[in-house]
Amino acid sequence: MAQKIIIDTDPGIDDAFAILFSALHPDLDLVALTTIFGNVTADIAARNAKVLSEMVDLDIPVAKGADRPLVMEPNPVSDYVHGEQGFGDLPAKQPKGSIDERSSAQLIVDLINESPGEIVLCPIGPFTNIALALELDPSIQEKTRLVMMGGGLDRGNVTPHAEANIWNDPHAADRVFAANWDMTMVGLDVTSDIVSPPSDFEALAKAAPVLGGFLNEAAKFYARFYMSHYNIEGCQMHDPAAMVAVLYPELFTIEETAISVVPDGELVGATLRSVDPNRRLVKACVGGQDQAIKDVFLNTIKTGH
Ligand code: RIB
Ligand code: CA
């Protein structure tokens, strides 16, 4: 039986990697996309998610989520990383269908209550919608588990201390880590070392001209960012790594620790090991079999069309 998942996403180039992977993998059943500001505005995130769902012929609800953090003023969108329209240099595409009339938080609550214990919730953007869903219906804590891309116990990317998804809404992230649910954090400690060079994406385009071709085009912009900012040849596979962790947790090295998030000041957005006895331990991924994780992603897309 395929694992049901909801992806909460700010598509975004590596979000697109994660979403197409999830749609194509036979052991995942992507039941909804809930979207959030972050890499792009909330409107562009919702539009791009609907476009992606249509690219893989998925008739699933896509909802628009929060357009700003819970407390602080929004940071600027990272269009220098993902492009103005979210998929690098690719022009904006309009979806054929419309998005769900519910908010992302409401859709998350409704779907989890319809299928308690059956859905894994996968935030791969700022955690604002997740915090709002908790506020709407705290009982979802007992009805789902989280596998999230975000954080970094010993590193950051937007700053030396903060990873982008946490940095974009530290208050929401802290509420998520303080809640009483099963959490797996796929953070920079593992995702920074999973890099796909341009040759990987060229191979995808050859094997799967439509979907692989799209990802190859989008990846070119993302790779230019990594080369110019980090002198890395390729893309760090943040979001797809989180989706691989849903299926193959054994490919990841885990440290169990409670986590708290610094809400402001110089260390804003840092995810710190916490000794708070009231906080549940998080399965924090601190390493992994990088090539094996990457191969799961690449081989799945190659089966695409
Ligand atoms: O720090 C990487 C994360 O921030 C990824 O989810 C990327 O898509 C951005 O949202
Ligand atoms: Ca993302």
pLDDT of residue 304: 64
The pTM assigned to this predicted structure is: 0.98
pLDDT tens digit string along 99-121? 999 999 999 999 999 999 999 99
pLDDT at 160: 97
Q: Which domains, ranges and CATH numbers included, belong to the chain?
A: 3-303 (3.90.245.10)
Cβ-based neighbours of 74, under 8 Å, separated by 6 or more = 37, 68, 168
pLDDT band at 303, cuts 50/70/90? Answer: confident
Nearest ligand 1 atom, CA 236? 2
Residue whose C-alpha is closest to residue 193's, from 88, 78, 285: 285
Contact indicator for 261, 177 with CB cutoff of 8 Å: yes
pLDDT of residue 92: 94
Q: Which atom of ligand 1 has the smallest separation from the CA of 10?
A: 10
d(CA 243, CA 227): 25
Q: How far apart are CA 86 and CA 11, in angstroms?
A: 6
Answer yes or no: is the C-beta of 12 below 6 A from any ligand 1 atom: yes
pLDDT digits (tens, 9 = 90+) for 256-298: 999 999 999 999 999 999 999 999 999 999 999 999 999 999 9
Q: pLDDT tens digit string along 123-162?
A: 999 999 999 999 999 999 999 999 999 999 999 999 999 9
> Does residue 45 register a pLDDT over 90?
yes
CA dihedral 165, 171, 177, 183 (to 10 degrees): -30
Whose atoms come closest to the Cα of 81: which ligand?
Answer: 1
Tell me: the pLDDT tens digits for 190-205?
999 999 999 999 999 9
pLDDT for 275 equals 94
Of 194, 264, 269, 158, the residue nearest 18 (C-alpha): 194
CB 108 within 8 A of CB 129: yes
Kind and range of the H or E element at 182? Answer: strand 182-186
- The finding on whether 51 has its CB within 6 A of some atom of ligand 1 is no
Question: Over 60: is that where the pLDDT of 305 sits?
Answer: no
Judged by DSSP in three states, 228 sits in helix
Q: For tokens 């979907």, what's the residue?
A: 211
- The residue whose CB lies within 8 Å of the most ligand 1 atoms, and thus the one to mutate among 15, 17, 20, 128, is 15
Three-state secondary-structure class, residue 236: strand
| Residues 91-125: b if buried by 16+ CB within 10 A, e if exposed | eebebeeebbebbbbbbbbbbbeeeeeebbbbbbb
Q: Which residues pair with 63 in a beta bridge?
A: 34
**Closest C-alpha among 208, 227, 226, 221 to residue 297:** 208
Ligand 1: which residue has its CA nearest to atom 1? 164
* pLDDT exceeds 60 at position 168: yes
* Single-letter code of the amino acid located at 102: R
Alpha carbons 131 and 7: distance in angstroms, whole number: 15
229 CA to centre of ligand 1 in angstroms? 15
**Least distant ligand from the CA of 164:** 1
DSSP assignment of 66-95: -SS-SSSPPPPP-HHHH-TTSSTTSPP---
The residue to mutate among 130, 149, 185, having the most atoms of ligand 1 within 8 angstroms of its beta carbon, is 149
CA 15 to ligand 1 center in whole angstroms: 8
Would you give the end-to-end CA distance of the chain in angstroms?
23
* Residue 145, beta-bridge partner list: 120, 182
**Which tokens belong to 138?**
């705290």
Three-class DSSP category at 187: coil
Q: If you count DSSP H runs as helices and E runs as strands, how many of each does the chain have, helices first? A: 12, 11
**67 in Cβ contact with 35 (< 8 Å):** no
What are residue 116's phi and psi, to 5 degrees? Answer: -60, 135
Six token digits for residue 195? 């890099």
Print burial letters for 242-256: b (CB count within 10 Å at least 16), e (below 16): bbbbbbeeebbebee
Shortest-distance atom of ligand 1 to CA 157: 1
